Amino acid sequence: MLLNIILIIIGFILLIKGADFLVDGASEIAKKFHIPEIVIGLTIVAIGTSMPELVVSVTSAIEGHSDLAIGNVVGSNIANMFLILGACAIIKPLIFKKETRLFEIPFTIFSTVMLFFLCINGTNNQINTITKEEGLILLTFCILFIIYNLIMAKKGEEFEKEEKIIEIRTNEEKISPVWESIFGIIIGIIGLKLGGDIVVDNSVEIAKILGISEKLISLTIVAFSTSLPELITSIAATRKGETDMAIGNILGSQIFNILLIIGVSASLAPIAYSKSYDSNIILLIIGTIALGLFPFTGKKNEMTRCNGLIFVLTYIIYLVSIVCFA
């Protein structure tokens, strides 16, 4: 078990350094091409940090472990929403842009509700099953979301001007070459992927040694561990003042976890859904709706430290309930 602990530490080091490379590279590209950081966070960073969930869920679906495929995505999204977003808000209050308030958060709610509907609908032998056709529907919405982000990237300068957040940069500021930034993003994603795998594999081994059930492992350790890239990346972005990228990373990961990962997994093999996940998805829907209300309550357009604390406490209560009733 000592070896597993050492490997977990190495995994965390890879996650931290990978997050630094990813955030710095993505930020440089945003500056170079005047692309809003929220768009970079919603696409490049979000897809990169969703790699662990993609690998776990696709592999689980192909091998017939439907519970793990669904549980990994739902559990990871709950961790993203309550733990990671909450932690970022505690570090630094998060300011929501107009597009985030009016489109990205509502689209996240829509994606989560659609997942719930696809899980519980069906007829005859396909009740509570996400079919291959439904997987293709999810992938279609994923493509539409990517197109939206490409349009937003094209309108980058106007987007920043409308929100009055254009950052004045002096001529002396050095912006890295594009190839260097892209290389940093690739190295960051590789570091996150390797670090995530090492942490997941060795966490599961320790859990087995301690006699923890497979179900409990999938709902807690696997879901949390595959969210580590989002956690490390978002916190790193927040600490560097790149809060837009942190918000985009979390919301983008939420959306891609549902539309891309479940979409690909279901397209390869139908995913049987267990009703035991109903309460988890409902909690996720409630959390996303609450996030959508924060900009219109309390401090305008802001998720405060108090809001973040509530989210983190909710996640802790959620984990305790799983451990007690699993």
Question: Could you count the other beta carbons within 10 Å of the beta carbon of residue 267?
Answer: 21
Residue with the two structure tokens 């690998």: 55
| Structural contact between residues 48 and 217, judged by C-beta atoms closer than 8 angstroms | no
Report pLDDT digits (tens) over 212-251. 765 676 667 777 777 777 788 888 888 888 888 788 888 8
Measured between alpha carbons, how far apart are the two ends of the chain, in Å? 25
**Average confidence (pLDDT) over 73-85:** 90
- pLDDT above 70 as % of the chain: 77
Return the pLDDT at 172.
41
Residue of 166, 23, 25, 37 whose CA lies nearest to 100: 37
Dihedral of alpha carbons 9, 13, 16, 22, sign: negative
CA-CA distance, 147 to 142, in Å (whole number)? 9
Mean pLDDT of the chain: 79
From CA 230, how far away is CA 192, in angstroms rounded? Answer: 9
pTM: 0.75
Angle of helix 243-256 relative to helix 228-239, nearest 10 degrees, comes to 160
Which range, 8-12, 99-103, 309-313, has the best average confidence (pLDDT)?
309-313
Q: What is the pLDDT of residue 165?
A: 42
Provide the pLDDT for residue 306. Answer: 93
Q: What is the pLDDT of residues 248-291, one digit of tens each?
A: 888 888 998 899 889 988 888 888 888 888 888 999 999 999 99
Residue 227 is predicted with a pLDDT of 76
Least confident range of 57-66, 76-85, 109-118: 57-66
Q: What is the pLDDT of residues 139-161, one digit of tens each?
A: 999 999 888 877 876 665 454 44
5-60 pLDDT tens trace:
888 788 777 867 776 787 678 777 777 777 776 677 667 677 666 666 676 677 66
- What one-letter code names the amino acid at 324? C
